[in-house]
Chain A
Amino acid sequence: MLGEFEYLILAATVRLGDDAYGAAIVQEIESATRQKCSIGGLYTTLDRLEAKGMIKTWMGNPTPERGGRSKRMVRVLAKGIEAATAFYEAVSTVSRGTSWQAGPAGGRK
């Protein structure tokens, strides 16, 4: 089973398509969650996902807006898609019929 941050990275990578790399993934996650995403955490998690065979990374071409430095490009592999789908289905299933409105049962606001 994937972790929450692993799922966020896989989802952001799929959304970005061919433009998925470190900084772009950070921006995508920060805009979706409205929380800070650490580069350190991202790169460590990318390594872990790559070791599990869920993603593939490689060094891309340098660009002027990065001071001529290369990007670490990311692509999700079939195993990653499978794991992300399973995670999404599990969250959807467990959330079915659940209301997050505040009420007597003590839901979140």
Chain B
Amino acid sequence: MSRLWVSLRDVLLRSLDPAEREAVSGDFVELAMTDRQVVRSLVGLVMRRQLKLWREWSPWFVLVAIVIPVCPLLETLCNQLGHGIWPTLVMWLHHGGAYRTGLSPPAFWSGFSIRAVALSTWSWTCAFALGTLSRRTIWVTGGLFFGLYLAFAIGAVHPFHRIVWYAGWSWLPLLMSFLFVLLPAGCGIRESNKPQNMKFPGVFFLALWTVTMAVLALWTRTWDQAAMDNWSRGGPALTLLQLAHYADPRKVGPIFLLTAAVLTAPMIYVLAKVYLQHASDRAVIPQG
């Protein structure tokens, strides 16, 4: 039980700014307060501080620009990823055969890997942007991010969810959510706490990686259509080289373009913010 109070105390203390955290911790030591008393005192202080922070625009911006649009999009993409791999897995595990997708196995698994890496990248970068922009409201905005995502993931409103649950494969979407969304998002929030990660060249390469993965993920969206066209003409499964020739990037639908833009935008915003900071630091001419 005392470990719980200690953990709660540490979590609450972390939400205060460093100077206040030090002064308050020192006061608690000097007043010889128990962990339970400390937690009770801190709850009031943290709530008052949070209320003050939420009077500013930035936490609301994070909520409206990241949490609300990003969570359902990540959940939809994760569902689509599961939807793509599920028949292949069932066919392989239960019937020992390959599920014909119109793509050669290397092409199919390359497409799956690219989409999985893109989804993990978006989860990581969106959570990184959320952590960077939230600062001391991270416990609320981060909690809402994970809570909203889980609400969508467990909602079981998607037809794929229903099929999977009835078939006894309920672990698959949850496992995929954990691997490709929740785990990377947790790491992204953790990394956003480290000031050394907010340096210009590093953030630039991170944004470049995000854009690259977004473009590749957009391209893989056209593979299914190319495979379908090829199958209707009676052609064999398409290889990666053939896809480079047949898959037309112009056939990416506007909805997925918008999805990719919404998921990439938070990292671009962080890049712009870090670049402006970098430029203003360089503009300061040393006196002497």
Chain A positions near chain B (C-beta within 8 angstroms):
21-23, 26-27, 38-41, 43-44, 59, 62-63, 65-67, 69-72
Contact = CB atoms under 8 A, between A and B. Distances in A.
Given A23-B31, A27-B31, A59-B19, A43 B45 contact: yes
Contacts of B43: 40
Interface residues of B, number: 20
A22 B19 contact: no
Contacts of B44: 38, 40-41, 44
Q: 8 closest Cβ contacts across the A-B interface?
A: A40-B45, A69-B26, A66-B26, A40-B44, A72-B23, A23-B27, A23-B30, A22-B27
A56 to B, nearest CB: 15
B39 to A, nearest CB: 11
B25 interface: yes
B23 A44 contact: no
Contacts of B25: 67, 69
Contacts of B45: 39-41, 43-44
Q: Which of A26, A40, A41, A59 has the most CB of B within 10 A?
A: A40
A21 B31 CA distance: 12
A63 B26 CA distance: 9
Contacts of B22: 59, 69-70
Interface string B3-14: 000000000000
A44 to B, nearest CB: 5
Contact of B48 (A21, A40, A59): A40
Contacts of B48: 40, 44
A69 B24 CA distance: 9
16 contacts: A22-B23, A26-B27, A26-B31, A27-B31, A38-B44, A39-B24, A39-B41, A40-B43, A40-B45, A40-B46, A43-B20, A43-B24, A43-B45, A44-B48, A59-B22, A71-B27
